[in-house]
Structure 1
Amino acid sequence: MFHEPSLRKSAQDGTLSRAVLFGIFGLSSRFSKNQAIRGQGHVWSAVARKLVRDDLEHASVENIQACILVGNICLADSQPDSESIFFALANRMAELLKLSIPNPANDAITSEINRRVWWSLYMIDRWGSAGLGLARQIHLGADAPQLPMDEVHFRKLSLSNSSEMLANWKPGIWSHMITLAQIFGDIQDLNRMLVEDEAWEEDQIESRVLSLAEELTSFERDLPPTMGFSSENLGFQQKQGVGRAFVALHLGYHHYATLLYYQYLDQRRPSTPTKRIFTERCKYHAIAFCELISTSAKQGDSEALHNVVGHMTVVSSSVLLHTLLLGDDEELPMARQRLESNFQFLVRLRDIWPSVDLMMKRLITFQNECLRTSQQGTHRFDKWMLKFLLQHALSLDEKDVSQSDGESLRQVYVEDERLLQRSRVTESIICARQQTI
């Protein structure tokens, strides 16, 4: 969203929007190891919010950027209504400025910034609207701008080399994320359709799942050689300064695939070879997500520490819970290890983003519901499940009994002694992680 050399120069010259400057301060302070700087974060965030509110009647690219920064601050602080309002304001400003339409008068840097801002709004709309259970505001049409250029090229872009850079244009990680987000939107629509339909046409559902599965497979297959996931490519992208974005791309891929197949964890579904295959695919992608989190942590300076990765980790963990509660005995040790690893990562994210605490509580509520409904079948794909999977910005109430801590797990009535014993494994993991606060 920002051209780093231009941003730094504007900051040094004193020409950078103060709302943008304090928005950057407010967000970046969360990652500082200096407690004094971290302590000032809420002050800078408050200043950014006031500056944005004071200049709302002025539509500009910098004000759009400031709204996005402040919206993310609200997301981090579990203020979903404010988050949505700031993002909606940014969308409206972009419409007023006709940001999606190229302006021949703009230089190469300005044009690319405008493109990246517009696509940032698109990505936010895909995630933010789902997170609050709201309708999307941005729909792709013929006037959608060109995809963003490669991140490394963008960083090196200058007025003196723009012709050369544009001649060698190639898509970057952000472009591939956008392509994935389009598939994500279709997966969201499918899942909403499933919970709204009273009767499921299994053949039609299977056909749609297979179609989306092929889109995901084609996406992965068609990635450039340096974009497919491998330890070598991770090292390469890290040296390019985009290791975290590279990891985020592949986390997104596995998360979207997990959501596509998640419906097949529902034990009410007909037991067919297709269901078994799709169930295993769901578990595979949830495990791959977990392994990627661990791999990036070991690599150093390549972890994807975005707020929404917390929700993605919770969804991955819910699949691991399915294995812990219902899987074969030989699957349990590794499932437990992976779930513990996920919780360790969530605790780390919570230190940066307080809203991750809500996400962790959603997972605890989810487990309790699995135990409570164990006799009827866990992971039932209904409106409650849809809220768990997509509406990450909202709290998750139990369908029947409310709870919020590990102690209440002991009060859940479970007739199946084997299931009860397994539930204590997950309870011990959750309680151990809560004690690290």
Structure 2
Amino acid sequence: MYLVNLYFRFIHDSPHSLFHEPTFKASAAEGTVSKPVLLAMLGLSARFATEPDIVARGPMYRAQATAALKEDLEHICIENIQACILVGNNFFGEGDADAESLYFGLASRMTQILKLGEINEIDDGVMREVKRRIFWTCFIIDTWASGGSNLSPQFRWRTKQPRGPLDEYMFYNMRSGDDDVADSDWKPGLWAHMVRLVGLYAQIQNLQQELANGVEWNESFIDESVQRLEAELSAFEEGLGPELMFSRENLASFVERGLGRVFIAFHLGYHHYYTLLFYQYLDHRRPPTRNGRKYASSCKAHAAIVCDVLKASREVPGAEALYNIVGHVTIVSSSVLLHTYLFGESHELEESRDRLSSNLESLVQLRNYWPSVEMMVSPCPSTPRWFLISIQIKRLVVFQKNCIQSMNAESYRFDRWMVKFLIAHALALEDKVDDSWSAASVDAANGDAHLERGRITQAMIMDIQNYDTET
């Protein structure tokens, strides 16, 4: 039960929501849990163990889970959907985006075959809610994984769909045999809000792909699209109420109810999507528009809030954010902070540098659980892809190079490369500029304040690259 408890502590209700915790733990104690599900769960949670010998068993659990699932793959059932999602997450943790997409695709197809979005009258309340959460988990992971691998989404939005996930505290306190919560008594949980946000995220993805693929930008179309999405996000925010906005006080309230990590996961996604929506306005060469400056400022503000949320997750027990996609969210926030430090005004420098340093602490923390080999931080083309956090750090290194280059050559712009950086987190990011980037080349232009800033941020990123060899 030790590793099961670690799963529910660090993974459950963050990247996915698949189980009713009390019911699952009771089944685990009785020994009636599906073998592929249990092994895949252990494969995810072993990395969080404090005993090295248990951590070392993680690869064995992951291999056994995959083998057990393959033996029973043609059996279309709830347990195998859960197993596919867990196995897919294991492959994602190893940086194998192809296998991740394959198993997530299987989960989505099984979910549709079993019609989990429709009510089955013989199910009790717990099972109905589990099915709803699996359905919406498939929608969320399909949106993220398809964008992350630059594939077409499989789990399309439907006019007929189940209601959103129930309030997490209400769901936790349900017991097997309970009736379903009536619509009149239903309250949305944080996962219900996440579902709405991911629907908007899918639209943001589509807009950025259109911009990247366009030969010429239609500024009127861009402004209209961004204004529409901003209005939808603003309406969403207004509907949340003050108790759901990010603050240390609100976080403490959710931690008291055992929901601190879900609250953190919600706000990481929420402010990440805002950052993505306004990201193209950081490009100083864009034609001036009525809202351009406001959008650039909003991008910086939400990237800073991501930093605050990450800092809280490191400092507040019960609010940890240690699932692997946090690495990508951290990198995108860091890229805005890095851009602000390199190109911003003098009054922005100290805060952006401090926040960037804070974000790098989160990357160091994540590397403790999603381990890397130091030589993999700057991989050559023949390097395997399974060291995910190192690959994410590499993305920040490449982004840094691009910013440095753009100081003397007008190469910084929002283009296909930038969209790949922002969304296609599962794909290797090629250098946009020449690899011959060193402290010497940065210092070559004596007296240039921007290049001096570049030297400082280069040193900060090198510190995290060298972290493993210094400890």
Q: Fold match, TM over 0.5?
A: yes
For residue 358 of structure 1, the aligned residue among 391, 413, 420 is 391
Cα distance 1:363–1:163, how it changes in 2: closer, same or farther (>3 A)? closer
Q: Distance between the aligned counterparts of 2:445 and 2:431, measured in 1?
A: 19
Post-superposition offset of 1:300:
2.1
On the 8 A contact 2:164/2:192 being kept in 1, the answer is yes
Task: Note the alpha carbon deviations across 1:102-154, whole angstroms, 9 max, x for none.
Answer: 21121111111111111111110110000000110011112222111111111
Q: Distance between the aligned counterparts of 1:425 and 1:97, measured in 2?
A: 55
2:4 corresponds to: none
1:132 aligns with 2:149: yes
Secondary structure of the 1:222 match is helix
Cα distance 1:379–1:172, how it changes in 2: closer, same or farther (>3 A)? farther
1:308 aligns with 2:325: yes
Q: Distance between the aligned counterparts of 1:148 and 1:164, measured in 2?
A: 11
Post-superposition offset of 1:376:
3.7
2:47 corresponds to: 30
1:246 corresponds to: 263
Secondary structure of the 2:408 match is coil
On the 8 A contact 1:371/1:414 being kept in 2, the answer is no
2:126 corresponds to: 109
Task: Note the alpha carbon deviations across 1:195-232, whole angstroms, 9 max, x for none.
Answer: 11222121221111111111111111111443222222
1:420 corresponds to: 451
1:375 aligns with 2:392: no
On the 8 A contact 1:267/1:378 being kept in 2, the answer is no
2:56 corresponds to: 39
Cα distance 1:208–1:426, how it changes in 2: closer, same or farther (>3 A)? same
1:97 aligns with 2:114: yes
2:15 corresponds to: none
- List gaps (5 residues or longer) in structure 1: none
Indicate the larger mover: 5-14 or 390-399.
5-14
User: After the TM superposition, which residues 177-326 of structure 1 pair with which residues of structure 2 at under 5 Å, given as runs?
Assistant: 177-326=194-343
Q: Distance between the aligned counterparts of 1:393 and 1:78, measured in 2?
A: 7
Secondary structure of the 1:427 match is helix
Task: Note the alpha carbon deviations across 1:363-405, whole angstroms, 9 max, x for none.
Answer: 10111112123234454100000000000011111124247xx
Q: Distance between the aligned counterparts of 2:302 and 2:31, measured in 1?
A: 47
2:466 corresponds to: 435
2:163 corresponds to: 146
Percent identity, aligned pairs only, is: 42
Amino acid at match of 1:59: I
1:77 aligns with 2:112: no
Cα distance 1:163–1:274, how it changes in 2: closer, same or farther (>3 A)? closer
For residue 175 of structure 1, the aligned residue among 185, 192, 199 is 192
Q: Distance between the aligned counterparts of 1:280 and 1:226, measured in 2?
A: 25
Q: Distance between the aligned counterparts of 2:349 and 2:242, measured in 1?
A: 36
Post-superposition offset of 1:240:
1.0
Amino acid at match of 2:124: D
Q: Distance between the aligned counterparts of 1:258 and 1:15, measured in 2?
A: 44
Q: Distance between the aligned counterparts of 1:268 and 1:292, measured in 2?
A: 31
Q: Distance between the aligned counterparts of 1:307 and 1:363, measured in 2?
A: 16
Q: Distance between the aligned counterparts of 2:303 and 2:204, measured in 1?
A: 16
Q: Distance between the aligned counterparts of 1:50 and 1:166, measured in 2?
A: 41
Cα distance 1:138–1:220, how it changes in 2: closer, same or farther (>3 A)? same
Aligned residue pairs: how many?
A: 434
On the 8 A contact 1:109/1:158 being kept in 2, the answer is yes
2:69 corresponds to: 52
Post-superposition offset of 1:3:
0.7
Q: Distance between the aligned counterparts of 1:367 and 1:17, measured in 2?
A: 46
Task: Note the alpha carbon deviations across 1:167-213, whole angstroms, 9 max, x for none.
Answer: 63211011100111011011111111111122212122111111111
Q: Distance between the aligned counterparts of 1:61 and 1:164, measured in 2?
A: 21
Q: Distance between the aligned counterparts of 1:305 and 1:57, measured in 2?
A: 33
- List gaps (5 residues or longer) in structure 2: 1-17, 372-387
On the 8 A contact 1:3/1:113 being kept in 2, the answer is yes
Post-superposition offset of 1:9:
1.6
On the 8 A contact 1:255/1:289 being kept in 2, the answer is yes
Q: RMSD of the TM alignment (CA)?
A: 1.8
Q: Distance between the aligned counterparts of 2:444 and 2:331, measured in 1?
A: 23
Secondary structure of the 2:186 match is coil
Query: Any runs of at least 4 consecutive aligned residues in structure 1 with deviations exceeding 6 A, and if so which?
Result: none
Post-superposition offset of 1:418:
2.4
Post-superposition offset of 1:47:
0.8
1:385 corresponds to: 418
Secondary structure of the 2:87 match is helix
Q: Distance between the aligned counterparts of 2:116 and 2:464, measured in 1?
A: 45
Q: Distance between the aligned counterparts of 1:162 and 1:226, measured in 2?
A: 29
Q: Distance between the aligned counterparts of 1:374 and 1:42, measured in 2?
A: 44
Indicate the larger mover: 220-229 or 425-434.
220-229
1:87 aligns with 2:104: yes
